[in-house]
Structure 1
Amino acid sequence: MKNDRHNGILYKNIDNRSLSIIVFSLIFAWILSFPFEGQILYSLTEMFQIEPHRMVFGAIISHFAGLFLCGFFVKNIQAAKKTMFLSILLCILGSFVYFSKPGAPWQLTLILISFIAGICVAAWGFFLKKFTPKNERIKTTADVLIYSNIIMIVLDMATVYISAYVGLSLSIAILALALLFVAKLPTVEANTEHQELPNDTKNAVSITKPLLLLYLFIVIITINSGLMYQVMNPAFSHLEWLTSWYWAIPYIVALYIMRNLSRERNRTYILYIGITMIGFSFITFAILDKSWQSYLVVDTLMLGACGIYDLFWWSILGEMLDFDENPAKVFGIGLSANVLGVLLGGVIGNVINGAGRDISTMLLALGVVCVTFTILPLLHKYLSEILSDHAYLTMVLSTPQEKREMAVKNLIELGGLTEREEEIVELLLAGKTYKTIGSELYISENTVKTHVKKIYSKLNIRNRTELINLMLEQHSAMRKESK
């Protein structure tokens, strides 16, 4: 009875969404601080004068495998909870291995706990889908990334300023807390905060092509993150007093700003700003010295951009969970792209770092930036077709209905559109797919495509994104006239 009363007091003010955020933040903080190129791991290898790269790359490959494979054997939320509980318990036990002297068990254990951690992260997708409503997942993903990085900073500072063993002990305590909270995650809820989409809605929308393109995009852009880990960070290793706490600050600030940005702000342009920031970070890294002032410039540009993009694809993946019965598969495979990009960038960066050529790093990074600029418009097009109301893709739905209708009328007059074309424009701006438009207007999908081509030709635009921007321009012009 006493234990029940104590548990009631501890958890009574925590709703299910907050509980899921706490669980993931604690788990992810441990991953960032230890197995995934964490400060604790590097400090332990430095303490015993061990070359860390083989261990690090083995852990990344293993983590990738865990993320990618989880959805193939974790099929429901009950299995997800059991998997997370067992995973955390095994990670706690595995962490104790590093209090012993280094040897073969270190490498084997790191591979094992990295794989298990990947499974745990992917399995959390069930709880993200269940407890966070559609269009709110951008806030939940921002919260878990912010909180986990704050905890990571605390663990890193304890590791650097006290000892690696203190950092390791605290990280185990973090996992123990996660174990307590994950035990309280409900798997059956009478009044679920988020209801699944009807089956006909799921079947009407295919996410295969957008997900594949998003996967490619994430892999390419996160090559720069791998370069950062293997080239940038070692170059400033002599500034440990600064890097131990400032490293993730720009990332957290960027996440906070993007999380709280008004929906009236067009985040699409911010994505292009983020790509530009990545390019400038590598340029400044190549031309500036390795002083603390240079570090502040390079790290602020790079990690600020990482914050913008991490929230972009984490939240996109979060919204895509509604289109598949197994969220662990979508979430895990999607995030595995991030790990794969870091792995590729790390391998390339390790080679470049050995040669000591900063200019090679800059040229490769700029090449990645150019490819990203090419892919982004196409990615935006496909994602907009299934997630028209996502904060990063469009701000049409934040425009008041009456003003939006007036802006659409101006568009119709501007292009001399027919009545049928007017109907299609309204449905396009509502985010409907060609298939859905066809079913609502009782015409074939090919007929819809023909009408859309004519509409784009009349308005002198190329895609739905430009149609949305044109509508917003009309709305902006109307606001200026009213003033």
Structure 2
Amino acid sequence: MLPYKDKLDAHGVLAIGGFGLLVGWVVSVLYEGPLLYALAESKAVDGRALNAANLLMLAAGLLGAIPIRVSSPGNCRRLLAGGAAACLTGTLLLPIMPGRFLYAHLPLLALVAGASMTGWGHLLKAAVPRSGRSLIAPVAMTLACAVLTSTHALTALAAPRAGFALAVATLTAYALLLLRLKVPDKTSCPPKLDSPGYVIRHFLVLYLSIFLITLNAGFMFQAVYPLFARHLVLSSLYTNVPYVAAVLVCASLPGFKRLQTLYGGLALWGFSLILLTNLDRSATSFLLVITGMLFAAGLFDYFWWSIFTTDLDSMNNPATLTGSILAASILGSLAGGQLTNLLAENGMAPFELAQWGLGAILVNMVLIGAVNKRLGPILINQQFLEEDQGPTAEEQRLEMVREKLSPREMDVFLLLREGCANKDVCETLHISINTVKTHNRKIFAKLGLRDRADLQHQFPPARLPN
């Protein structure tokens, strides 16, 4: 029996799995880590320069793909399948490629991968029903971390070729999954909120907050991990365990106050930096410092991943949120790593560098309040931004409706409320037109409504700001 069958069908599961595999391959091969540096060392090239070029082009791909309009999610899937084939071919060529060509070859792969990650906004919106979108972030992030940790462990503890083989297998599985994935040619009826300048005007404060938080991620990779380099086995096996734990904690507690969790994450990161300046380089110190940092990083990432995965309907072009939020994260990590290297080369000790990280945390303490105030009224799924002030009258009415309807009937009700036609409901939820009509009759009967017009009159869609 399919897990979460009331929230996901088989294609929804495939879609979330595909996105997780793609992210897992990206962070394993193109991102900071043992496999990238082992490849650079074998080719006698500068691993740090290669990492910086990859991150820059990954962000360029994420942002560059946002304006690309696809005629349908089906065509988007075919484009992504072509990108997967290109990435797989390029990856297989890495062992035989002369070192000097890596400076162009790997960043080009990163560009294609970034564009593919943005394109997944269309597929996730089309293939995953609204009731199942809360599962996208925890499942995809956990899967990506499983790939990352396994690849790093094999590379560091066995042999680089073993880690490389796992990365190739991951990308192959991703390409095959794309071929099996079926998505409707038409998505639901979303509000058209991504007019020119809208996203930048309303989301800039969120991007700035993400950028400043991920500056610390760059600091962690470039300054903290090297301090504990002698604990190779521990760092290889323990990598991302606290991160995944944070993601699963957030996902398993529906009543979790996400906004307060962000403040808690910032406090935990600051405490970890303080520990770093006062502890030795022992294995116990490593566990204390890295556990705090990675758990906080999991809280942060879950916050903005949840925004672009659950609020895909907030914009006519879902790739807008996917590409821009991930790009802000990548650019922050890149800037943090480069700044750390620059300050270290000028003689600044890691303990002094930690003070810069604390400064970024203090700025974010102020920014998060601005993020909440700015975006709370805009995003459809506001539970990650708004303060816990109790349910509004509208929310209470919807909760009463939810108690009367089955989960699938609730999905249909929400689409009818937005004015979607039966065909749109059918294609969005992957059910037949007769099933849609049956759900309509049951909804009208349970709620005491005459017809679709009466439903929209009694439950008008929420008005969103210009």
- Residues 82 and 101 of structure 1: is their aligned pair in 2 closer, same or farther, counting only changes over 3 Å? closer
Could you tell me how far apart the structure 2 residues matched to 1:366 and 1:387 are?
Answer: 30
Q: Does 1:254 align with 2:260?
A: no
In the alignment of these two chains, the number of paired residues is 393
Three-state SS of the structure 2 residue aligned to 1:124 is helix
The one-letter code of the counterpart of 1:163 is A
After TM superposition, the structure 1 = structure 2 runs for residues 53-92 of structure 1, keeping only pairs within 5 Å, are 53-76=48-71, 77-92=73-88
Could you tell me how far apart the structure 2 residues matched to 1:37 and 1:161 are?
Answer: 17
Q: What TM-score comes out, normalization by structure 2 length?
A: 0.78
Could you tell me how far apart the structure 2 residues matched to 1:368 and 1:183 are?
Answer: 43
The one-letter code of the counterpart of 1:197 is P
Could you tell me how far apart the structure 2 residues matched to 1:281 and 1:307 are?
Answer: 14
Q: CA deviation at 1:128?
A: 1.6
Could you tell me how far apart the structure 1 residues matched to 2:231 and 2:106 are?
Answer: 27
Q: What are structure 1's unaligned runs of at least 5 residues?
A: 1-12, 406-429, 437-483
Q: Does 1:375 align with 2:367?
A: yes
Q: Does 1:285 align with 2:268?
A: no
Which residue of 273, 294, 303 maps to 1:303? 294
Q: Does 1:196 align with 2:192?
A: no
Aligned position for 1:107: 103
Q: Does 1:231 align with 2:223?
A: yes
CA deviations over 1:148-198 (Å, ceiling 9, x no partner): 101221121111222111211221111111111001222326xx8x73335
The one-letter code of the counterpart of 2:214 is T
Contact 1:226–1:349, Cα closer than 8 Å, also in 2: yes
Q: What TM-score comes out, normalization by structure 1 length?
A: 0.75
The one-letter code of the counterpart of 2:22 is I
Could you tell me how far apart the structure 2 residues matched to 1:50 and 1:202 are?
Answer: 42
Could you tell me how far apart the structure 1 residues matched to 2:306 and 2:312 are?
Answer: 10
The one-letter code of the counterpart of 1:44 is L
The 10-residue stretch of structure 1 (390-399 or 42-51) with the greater mean CA deviation from structure 2: 390-399
- Residues 383 and 134 of structure 1: is their aligned pair in 2 closer, same or farther, counting only changes over 3 Å? farther
Aligned position for 1:16: 11
Q: Does 1:124 align with 2:120?
A: yes
Q: Does 1:45 align with 2:40?
A: yes
Which residue of 305, 308, 312 maps to 1:314? 305
Task: Please report the RMSD computed on the Cα atoms of aligned residues, expressed in angstroms.
Answer: 2.8
Q: CA deviation at 1:433?
A: 6.0
Contact 2:28–2:148, Cα closer than 8 Å, also in 1: yes
Could you tell me how far apart the structure 2 residues matched to 1:63 and 1:308 are?
Answer: 23
Q: Does 1:185 align with 2:172?
A: no
Aligned position for 1:457: none
CA deviations over 1:318-370 (Å, ceiling 9, x no partner): 24432322222331122100011011101111123332512321111011001
- Residues 398 and 254 of structure 1: is their aligned pair in 2 closer, same or farther, counting only changes over 3 Å? farther
Which residue of 14, 27, 34 maps to 1:32? 27
Aligned position for 1:153: 149
Contact 1:60–1:339, Cα closer than 8 Å, also in 2: yes
The one-letter code of the counterpart of 1:38 is G
- Residues 267 and 101 of structure 1: is their aligned pair in 2 closer, same or farther, counting only changes over 3 Å? closer
Q: CA deviation at 1:14?
A: 6.4
Give percent identity, aligned residues only. 27
Could you tell me how far apart the structure 2 residues matched to 1:278 and 1:398 are?
Answer: 34
Could you tell me how far apart the structure 1 residues matched to 2:392 and 2:33 are?
Answer: 40
Pair member with larger Rg:
1
Could you tell me how far apart the structure 1 residues matched to 2:270 and 2:181 are?
Answer: 42
Which residue of 334, 343, 356 maps to 2:334? 343
Contact 1:74–1:80, Cα closer than 8 Å, also in 2: no
Which residue of 312, 318, 329 maps to 2:320? 329
- Residues 397 and 183 of structure 1: is their aligned pair in 2 closer, same or farther, counting only changes over 3 Å? farther
CA deviations over 1:399-436 (Å, ceiling 9, x no partner): 9949x99xxxxxxxxxxxxxxxxxxxxxxxx9966859
Could you tell me how far apart the structure 2 residues matched to 1:102 and 1:353 are?
Answer: 31
Contact 1:349–1:361, Cα closer than 8 Å, also in 2: yes
Q: What are structure 2's unaligned runs of at least 5 residues?
A: 1-7, 401-459
The one-letter code of the counterpart of 2:17 is I
Q: Does 1:140 align with 2:131?
A: no
CA deviations over 1:16-72 (Å, ceiling 9, x no partner): 110101111211111111111132112223445543111111111111100010122
Could you tell me how far apart the structure 1 residues matched to 2:99 and 2:235 are?
Answer: 29
Greater RCO structure (CA 8 Å; 6+ sep): 2
The one-letter code of the counterpart of 1:95 is T
Aligned position for 1:267: 258
Contact 1:138–1:311, Cα closer than 8 Å, also in 2: no
